Amino acid sequence: MLITGKIVIVDDEDMVIKTLKTLLKIEGFSNVDIFNNPDDALKFIENNPVDLIISDFIMPKMNGIEFLSKAKKIHPDTTQILLTGYADKENAIRAINELGIFKYIEKPWGNDDIILNIKNGIERTRLKEQLKNKIEELEIANKKLNEYSKTLEDKVEERTRDLNVSNIKLNTIIENLSDALILFNSNNKIVQVNGQAKKLFCANENDELKGKNFFEIIINEKDKKLKKGETVLRDFSVIDYKENKKIPVEINLAPVKLDNEDFTVALIRDITFQKENERLRDDFIATLTHDLRTPLLASINALDFTLNGELGNIQDELKELLSVMKKSSEDMLGLVNALLEVYRYESGKLFLCKTHFSLEELIEDCTKKLSPLLKEDNLKFEFEFQKNTPKTGGEILINADKNEIRRVVSNLLGNAIKHSKKDGVIKICTSYEAKDVRVDIIDFGEGLSKEDIEKLFNRFSQGTSKKRSTSTGLGLYLSRQIVEAHNNEHAGGSIFASGELDKGCTFSFILKNSVIESKAVL
């Protein structure tokens, strides 16, 4: 690759100038300026960039070293070559050392040698220029980097300061929460607690709780098995060792990931005051409903005496009015009784009295009592009972509270009658598997949506968004309480519903481990 550039030649000998000019032209160097006088050359150099300066050593008025010294002040990075005779060799070497001249070439020179040095000299100037530019770019970049680094340091310092303030605020909030806060790992080992947690668990230092299994320091009052993903824990308590008493708590769990590890934050709330308020409220309702029963029963009995003619004959219009009053009083008494039963189950004041009996006989007895309600819509019951064991033919008995199971069956049958279509059928099925018994009551009425089923057994639920039920909303809730009350350490009960809109509904309950040895049918 041909390297060309701006070349300035200064020599007072015409023969040397012509020779160099011709040689450079042959080699393809076209941008060449030649001067016989060093002063003229300096004026040109002051106003033009130059890549290479070639100067003779011996010249009138100003020798080559003086000229190159002045030229170097104008263009410090321009490569310089000195032409000299053999006798000037020592001066040339001194010039190289003092001025940094690139080369000195002795006269007479070889053409190949001088062309090579010219090319190298131009390349040297270009490289020095490029290096200078790179240095300047690096200096600019370094300056910007220093500025950015300073700005970054200021931002980091500011962010660190803000973060420290935020951490202090957050730690202050956590430490002074009214609820206890505990952080435990995937092995349920406690790693951090706040001040309220230490107070709740009577711990003086963090280390007293750290490392303990979270689920071993709380008490599961109903001994329910925790479901995976459960976020709210009720019916739990902790022990206050100072006062030697249990403290009821409600626990909210939230999974978190810290440093790619799984943890759980437990927020524990003391609900003693809430429980006390609930107890006072329930006691008030129980007292109120209990006190209401006496006047209601008195009213119903008085109306019965009157309607039966024991107080004399009454007109038909008055008899119809008194019948309506009696029915309203009976409905009110049913509501009062339902409220009392719910209270007794929730407060644990009602105990099951289990006996051995035939479930099918109990169901048939319930249907006989409810059969008058079928006439209005021309409904009928159908039974699919498994009355005998396949192996022995003995009659199947269950061990449960007969009166309470009767209440569940009556509630579910009454519910099915209310919502069946005219001329419809209500199917009642029983089935047994091992020691479990299942009852299904199926109607073909207006049905239920999935959303309605989820809230069907809640307290005071009116059934559905379509107002499926106009009752108090306690019948199904009480049925659930009764079935679940049959739970104990070895058995269990569950109640549930299924169905679709306009396709009917199935209410089912299961009593687990309730079947006893059957008696032979004679």
Q: What is the pLDDT of residues 387-433, one digit of tens each?
A: 665 554 567 889 998 988 998 998 899 888 888 888 889 999 998 88
| Residue that wins the pLDDT comparison between 285 and 126 | 126
Measured CA to CA, the distance from residue 18 to residue 93 in angstroms comes to 26
Residue 101: exposed, middle, or buried by beta-carbon count in 10 A (0-12, 13-18, 19+)?
A: buried
| Residue that wins the pLDDT comparison between 318 and 408 | 408
Q: What is the pLDDT of residues 372-384, one digit of tens each?
A: 888 888 889 999 9
Measured CA to CA, the distance from residue 276 to residue 70 in angstroms comes to 105
| Residue that wins the pLDDT comparison between 474 and 32 | 32
Measured CA to CA, the distance from residue 87 to residue 429 in angstroms comes to 133
Per-chain mean pLDDT for the chain: 81
**Does pTM top 0.75 for this prediction?**
no
pLDDT at 251 over 70: yes
- Confidence label for 74 from pLDDT (cuts 50, 70 and 90): very high
- Confidence label for 521 from pLDDT (cuts 50, 70 and 90): very low
- Which residues on neighbouring strands pair with residue 375, listed in sequence order? none
What is the model's pLDDT at position 1? 44
Measured CA to CA, the distance from residue 455 to residue 132 in angstroms comes to 82
Q: What is the pLDDT of residues 296-317, one digit of tens each?
A: 777 877 787 788 777 777 777 8
Helix, strand, coil abundance in the chain, percent, nearest 5: 45, 25, 30
Least confident of 166-170, 258-262, 268-272, 508-512: 166-170
Measured CA to CA, the distance from residue 218 to residue 246 in angstroms comes to 10
pLDDT at 362 over 80: yes
Q: What is the pLDDT of residues 26-45, one digit of tens each?
A: 888 888 899 989 999 999 99
pLDDT at 473 over 70: no
pLDDT at 490 over 60: no
Q: What is the pLDDT of residues 177-228, one digit of tens each?
A: 888 898 999 898 998 888 888 888 887 665 678 888 888 888 887 777 777 7
What is the model's pLDDT at position 35? 92
Q: What are the CB-based long-range contacts (under 8 Å, 24+) for 390-394? A: 392/518, 392/520, 393/520, 393/521, 394/517, 394/518, 394/519, 394/520, 394/521
Percentage of the chain beyond pLDDT 70 is 84
| Residue that wins the pLDDT comparison between 226 and 239 | 239
